[in-house]
Structure 1
Amino acid sequence: MKLYHKVFKNRPDLSIYLENQEPLVSYCDELLGRLSSSQNMEELCEAKKSILKDFRDIYLFDLRNAEFPELIGHFKSEKEKRRFVGKKILLQDMVRYLGSIYKKYHTLIYENSSELPAIEMKKLAIDYNEIYQKAMDDYISAITYGRKHAITASFVLPSLIEQGLSTNLQNRLLFKSICSLPDDRNLSRPLDTEEQEYISAFLHNTRNFQFNASESYVMGKMYELFVREGVLKASAEMEMILTGVGHERQKKLTRTLNALLETNFARKEIRTEYLELMKDLFVKLNIRNSIMHGVGETFDYLNLGIVSIMFQLIWDIATCEIFKDEV
């Protein structure tokens, strides 16, 4: 059953449990079947989107209809209290639906092939590929031996997601802007030598080309070019996506995961289902800080279900499934 009246209750330690979980478990098995029965990548992509859409319907229904135990503590207003309950229900639904489904799905993949998806990340001063492999080893150990936590994965996956999303959005903005440049005859002025070299490198030889300057300088040159030629309007958001730091009225906008998710460009490029999921996870629930600083007293933020959701996210970012179109 997709939608039903849930009854959440408190344990003595004030953690939350779902009293009537049987319909949930049954429906999760149905959703898992959509993934496991997919015959090709197109069907799998559609199955993933349908699950995220169903999750959104379920959460919005539970927000209005679920029974939740009376809260203990002081709230400044009824609105603050409702917002707090909404976050608790979102967390419960996210782990019980998406976390459970993805964990079982990943377990099936590993049992059938003895491996989980490998991705190649941008090599910087920090080797993100090594970090990813550490997280993967931890996760495989957890699902193989039935552990409740994959602690290394919990701590590093938010940073890997940020790095992967940042690189993809930057590349998409860069490529689309280059392709929108006027032809040589209609440029406001001829491209200088650096601009020609950078554009050629981005279009034809990105992996092997060694830039002779920092990212902020190279991308700054590109940003100035796009604004000069009318491809982009000057904005802190676009400058931040390309260079790492945007400037507007003596204020700086630094490229972070939350900042990226709030941009108009992200809304334009990312499928609604994925954008809502990432905002739920990293903005509403503030999972990154909850994991890093241990701010949750009544929920285990190292829960393996959250790790499963983050792994599925990083794989779908790497394969560009989260985006509306190809570039």
Structure 2
Amino acid sequence: MSNVTQCDLKEVTFSEAPVVDRDQGVIRGVKILGRHSKNNRVYSDAALNQAAYLYEGLAVNLDHPLRSQTAGDRLVADGFGWLTSVGVRESGVFGDLHFLRSHPQAPMIAEAAERNPRRFGLSHNAVGRVALRDGAAIVEAIDRVHSVDVVQNPATCLGLFESENPTMTTTLHELCERALLPALLDHPSLTGLRLRAVPLPETLDNSSLRSAVLTNLLRGVADCTESEPQFDPRALFVHLQQHLTDEPPAAAHSPVETDLPQRITRLETELCCRGLLEAQHRHCDPERLQALVALPDEAARRALIESWPTRDSSLRTRPASSPPLGDRGESPLRLPEDVRGFVAALR
């Protein structure tokens, strides 16, 4: 059974034998996307055909955009060329890279393509739908492509004609499998986190793996509270408690990472700050969260939030009140009220 999730796709590809025509300003036969990614993804035929269609005529920039930039905010100096004659072959998507002969970097990249095509690669930044089947991440569709960039250190090919992440990553589902917690993400509200990309801990002992699972799971829940205001993480506590309190035999007395309490405290603070922003109808972004977390108390955070403009809440309405559990005929369960309470309940 597969679970399809829409996620960001960042890959780098190298070409083996491109043909450089400096007079025409074309590097022919560049590999744009490989069928097998170094990021442990496999692209289906349908995804490759969709990618080829989206690549045709697409602008090519130099280097990855800065974190503060979007696809439409690239500098004029970043523009290097565009793609044509894009098609699918056995090993991936190929095309011709037309470059601006007047660009300052054109001679260097043309020489690299002639003498050592693995010196540079093409990195694609796209959004697609990924299914987890038999432990493999299968890209079933490419919905849109943000950019294609000429970069060093590319991820599905090995040279010029997707970019490799220097940090070893895996999916949250695979991390749970390694930590002997295979059923942790079976709750319906957590299935969307299965393909969430997470870094592998430096050491792979069970204590480190379980600590990484908890940290990344809490971050995933925090992201859910931002993207789905109706989402209540307390509804998951009973399910998570059932799976996280059963210590695996091989790690019954393994020590927990010493910095875990501090990380949990920060995550709890971030959750509280997200709630304050939502309650005050303010936009939530990483910069605002960082500023709020750094403040000493809630009063200071509220004061800062009130200094920010409100967002347009006309598209999102929430019920004014909710009847007590007793009025709905449900038993009033005593659930943890915050992340700290949840973690304490697990011990």
- Bin for the TM-score computed over the shorter chain: under 0.3
Higher RCO, Cα 8 Å, sep 6+? 1
Please identify which structure carries the higher strand content.
2
Please identify which structure carries the higher helix content.
1
TM-score, with structure 2 as normaliser:
0.22
